[in-house]
Chain A
Amino acid sequence: MSNLITIQNLTVKYESFTALKAVDFSLSKGEFVAILGQNGSGKTTLIQTLLGLKEPTSGTITLQEGLRMGYLPQHYHNSDKNFPATVEEVVLSGALLGQKGYKRPKAEHRFFMEKHLEELEISHLKTRRIGTLSGGQQQRALLARALMTEPDVLIMDEPTSALDPSMRETFFELLTHLNHHHQVAILLITHDIGVASEYLKRVIYLDQKVLFDGTFEAFCENDELSPYVHTHLPHKEGK
């Protein structure tokens, strides 16, 4: 299976502080991977470097030719409640942002927008200004925007932090649906492994370098990582 993303020997430094040290991993089509780790372990740096927002100090990131990356930020980052944009405009921008010249959205764009909004249960909010929505509603609108880019891989930084527990379940079910039926690879940072556990296929545990890369079951049974597992997943006894 060809890799969508290959990271080799990646090191990222902030002045004298090393955030990532010789990280290696690859992501293939259709995978569902969670990056776990304590605060300050380099998770967000890894995502930012992958997205091209931060330059690697050394090492390489190879993306499959023509790879489309969808991105969902940590939580609603544009705190401007008065930003004049409707949910519809923001979601459609996912499909339109590369277009040259002002064109009205095509019928197929509208069709997909309606479909995503319906799946995410926010159809009724499409004419509302995005700043007036709750954190969870905004997060779903931004996921719909990411889906409009028809991504091969969806990269998310703690996507469920603004969602209430019942919505978290629905959110992961939706990701699984995308993963299974549309073959969208999922790469996410989460602390929410309690909810995510039944959906994850693979776990990468990071502490500046990759300390674990394997199945979720093997992760839970890893002696060295049991303090993390016990804190974040108390009902798992480990070995």
Chain B
Amino acid sequence: MGMIFERFILIFSFSFMIRALLVGLLTAVSSSMVGTFLVLKRYSMIGHGLAHVAFGAVAVGLLFSTSPLLIALPLVVATSVLILKLNEKADVHADAAIGVMATTAMALGTLLASIDGGFTTVLNGYLFGSILTVQWLDFGLALALLVGVIGFVGYNYHSLFSLTYDPTFAHVSGIPVKRLNLILAIFTGIIVVVGIRLLGTILISSFIIFPTLISMQFKKGFKTTFLTSLIIALGTVFFGISMSFIFDFPTGSSIVLLNAVVFILVFILQTFKSRRAS
């Protein structure tokens, strides 16, 4: 036990760990804030689909630049908007639109990696993420993202609630539903790219889905669910990264599995509670 505590304290003596924690915590807040609306609008899979798109986009980025995420950022954001527009205009179901985009991008990424075998290893690094690769630039991006998300959600909280619960009513009442959806899609794209270094393209969608899903198990109102998901996101990222350092586990896996354990525990607890009440 003492050794675990010693290793925990050691985290704060490494600047790469402090960077990873800061980027993780900042991104966790952004993703859970946006995630609450995405999950409840039944757009949970958008993060997962965009992560696959990001894989293809990183491959394109690696082909042209040494900073592939800067190339991936506009590509992923554009795809996120495209998925939304396909869903709105062409009447394509969201899950089908996401599936089409994700598989096409994965195919492109794999193809590019096979043509230029030189970056296959680097590309694989983006699949699962690595805290060692987190730079101060990522911290800057995560901070700017958080400021943007807090500003957007804080300013439009009531409108976002209305359009999530009942988009028709929101539209009729004069809420710019399409514009707000578009901004949500843009933020989702940015969150995916910023979170990739930490969690990798395979696991990033858990950032968006898990905190809301866990907090929904408490069966409370919207505001409570929203705030609870923030606390869960912060907690699981902090303890997930800490665990990964202490036990030398992969960071992405630690965060996702910790979320899964919390979800199962809360689910069991709530089922037990509701049985006792009835």
User: Which A residues have a C-beta under 8 Å from some C-beta of B?
Assistant: 51-53, 69, 71, 73, 77-78, 80, 82-86, 88-90, 93-94, 96-102, 127, 129, 145-146, 149
Contact = CB atoms under 8 A, between A and B. Distances in A.
Contacts of A69: 172-173
B266 interface: no
24 contacts: A53-B172, A69-B172, A69-B173, A73-B169, A77-B168, A78-B165, A82-B219, A84-B221, A85-B165, A85-B221, A86-B221, A89-B222, A97-B161, A97-B170, A97-B175, A98-B158, A98-B159, A98-B173, A98-B175, A99-B159, A129-B220, A129-B221, A146-B169, A149-B173
Contacts of A96: 158
A41 B161 CA distance: 34
Interface of B: 40, 154-159, 161-162, 165-166, 168-175, 215-216, 219-225
Contact of A53 (B161, B168, B175, B215): B168
Contacts of A86: 221-222
A67 to B, nearest CB: 11
A85 B175 CA distance: 19
Contacts of A149: 173
Contacts, number: 82
Contacts of B215: 84
A237 B9 CA distance: 88
A90 B221 CA distance: 10
Contacts of B174: 98
A180 B240 CA distance: 61
Contacts of B156: 100
Contacts of A78: 165-166
At the interface, is chain A mostly helix, strand, loop or mixed? loop
A85 B220 CA distance: 7
A202 B30 CA distance: 52
Nearest to A103: B158
Nearest to B159: A97
Contacts of B40: 80, 83-84
A63 B73 CA distance: 43
Contacts of A90: 165
A89 B221 CA distance: 8
Contact of B166 (A51, A52, A77): A77
A52 B172 contact: yes
B153 to A, nearest CB: 8
Contact of B158 (A53, A97, A127, A145): A97
A116 to B, nearest CB: 16
B219 A129 contact: yes
Contact of A145 (B154, B169, B220): B169
Nearest to B169: A71
Nearest to B163: A97
Given A71-B172, A98-B174, A98-B175, A85 B222 contact: yes
A102 B151 CA distance: 10
Given A77-B166, A78-B166, A93-B161, A84 B154 contact: no
